[in-house]
Amino acid sequence: MTYAFLGPLPTVAMVHPETAKEILKTAEPKPTNLGAVYNFIFPWLGEGLLVAGGKRWARNRKLLTPAFHFDILKPYVAVNNLCTDVFLGKLDEMNDRYFEVFNEISLLTFDVILKCAFSYDIDCQKQGHPYVKAVSELGAALPERVLNPLLYPYMFFILTPMGRKFRRNCNYVHRVADDIIRSRRKALKENLSKTGDRYLDFLDILLTAKDPTGKGLTDKEIRQEVDTFMFEGHDTTASSISWALYSLASNPDCMQKCQEEVDRVLQGRDDDNILWNDLSELKYLNLCIKESLRMHTTVPFIQRITTKDCYVDGFLIPKHTSISLPLYTILHHPDVWKKPMEFIPERFSSENTDKMGSHAFVPFSAGPRNCIGQNFAMHEMKVILARVIRRFVFFSASK
């Protein structure tokens, strides 16, 4: 644990899993003060689950939880397969040559999230779309701003070319989401929004969610949650899939084991679509995905702010202290992870995880503020990776 001041703001970094556990098991809010990453994304995401705190977060978390129930997630496997079909067709065209895989996977995960969020089919993998471009540019602006303290104050940032583009993109993605929400809500009122054979999407759940008082989410709250779902479920998943392919390409024995497992699960099938019941059978692939998430976590750190004085490891952490949890360090700490720089999927076998601390593996955070969509993300990664590695062998360009 280290302690420092970032300007006038006290900050504590916790790098050991057992120390970080003391913060993760609480529902302490995210900091939105000057310099906090969550402050940078507030104009885009508003008070969605990622940023919200207190009673608002607790209420909305409870309202959104049914959207990630297994009964809702099951039909999304077919959506994953459908989008992966397009991706595999593109890979066929690029076969036998090196290319940057992340850009193509990013479009694939965008396609998935658009269909699952609000059944929005814009053929973005082949044709692109202004909405895709806007969301990508919004995400790309964040690390640039983080690395330039002069851009921390919004009043300065918004005067720069990057800031003006950020505001334009925010306004555009908000308009698109607002139009879709209004259209769907109108259809509900007119009793025309019968899904029929269509799966329930994220928007369907949000529009019909009610708290114990019978009050639902406002259109603004729904848009903030949809924007948050897009932000958290697109770029991070694309990065995770890309790193998993890199890890398998760098460890061909592991890739071969995964391919043999997929072949065994799909034996006798007329196609290579992954079904819901197949997900639990892809056990070794699951180990490889987890090990890749550990080695190459796509979220660099988590921030919290204390709402009261607390003690961690015998040290007093004063109220209003910013807590930083660097996930890369936590997921490579030698006290927990032996040979942390080596790709060893077997460390996640049941006999090994039984000995692991409850907060040792935290790529999706942990505790009450963990990632609400982690099962959605894991299912998506399994479907895409299983189908891709069954059809293709990947190699690292560095080799």
382 pLDDT above the threshold of 60:
yes
What percentage of residues in the chain have a pLDDT greater than 90?
74
Buried (b) or exposed (e) across 281-306, using 16+ Cβ within 10 A? bbebbbbbbbbbbbbbbbbeebbbbb
pLDDT at 194: 56
Q: Rounded distance, CA 246 to CA 388, Å?
A: 13
pLDDT at 233: 86
In a domain, 396, yes or no: no
pLDDT at 197: 61
258 among annotated binding-site residues: no
Strands 310-312 and 2-6, by their bridges, are unpaired
The CATH number of the domain where 269 resides is what?
1.10.630.10
Strand-pair partners of 316? 311
pLDDT mean across residues, the chain: 92
The answer for 305, left when phi > 0, alpha when psi is -120 to 50, beta otherwise, is beta
Residue 243: which of 207, 284, 210, 291 has the closest Cα?
291
Q: pLDDT, tens digit, for every residue of 308-359?
A: 999 998 899 999 899 999 999 999 999 999 999 999 999 999 999 888 888 9
Mean pLDDT across 168-175: 97
Residue 135: which of 215, 6, 41, 54 has the closest Cα?
41
Number of domains in the chain: 1
3-state SS class at 218: coil
For the chain, where are the alpha helices, taking DSSP H only?
17-24, 37-45, 54-64, 70-73, 76-93, 101-118, 124-127, 130-146, 154-157, 161-189, 202-208, 219-250, 252-265, 283-295, 327-330, 350-353, 374-391
pLDDT at 128: 81
In a domain, 399, yes or no: no
In a domain, 362, yes or no: yes
In a domain, 349, yes or no: yes
In a domain, 397, yes or no: no
pTM for this one? 0.93
What percentage of residues in the chain have a pLDDT greater than 70?
96
Q: Rounded distance, CA 25 to CA 129, Å?
A: 40
Q: Rounded distance, CA 292 to CA 59, Å?
A: 33
Token pair of 256 as six digits: 């071969």
Distances (CA, A) of 298 to 77, 155, 167, 241: 23, 29, 25, 10
pLDDT at 399: 53
190 pLDDT above the threshold of 80:
no
Mean pLDDT across 176-204: 81
In a domain, 50, yes or no: yes
In a domain, 99, yes or no: yes
The band of 64, judged by pLDDT with boundaries at 50, 70 and 90, is: very high
Strand-pair partners of 4? 11
In a domain, 8, yes or no: yes
Q: pLDDT, tens digit, for every residue of 281-300?
A: 999 999 999 999 999 999 98
Structural domain containing residue 290: 2-391
239 pLDDT above the threshold of 80:
yes
pLDDT at 358: 87
Mean pLDDT across 350-370: 92
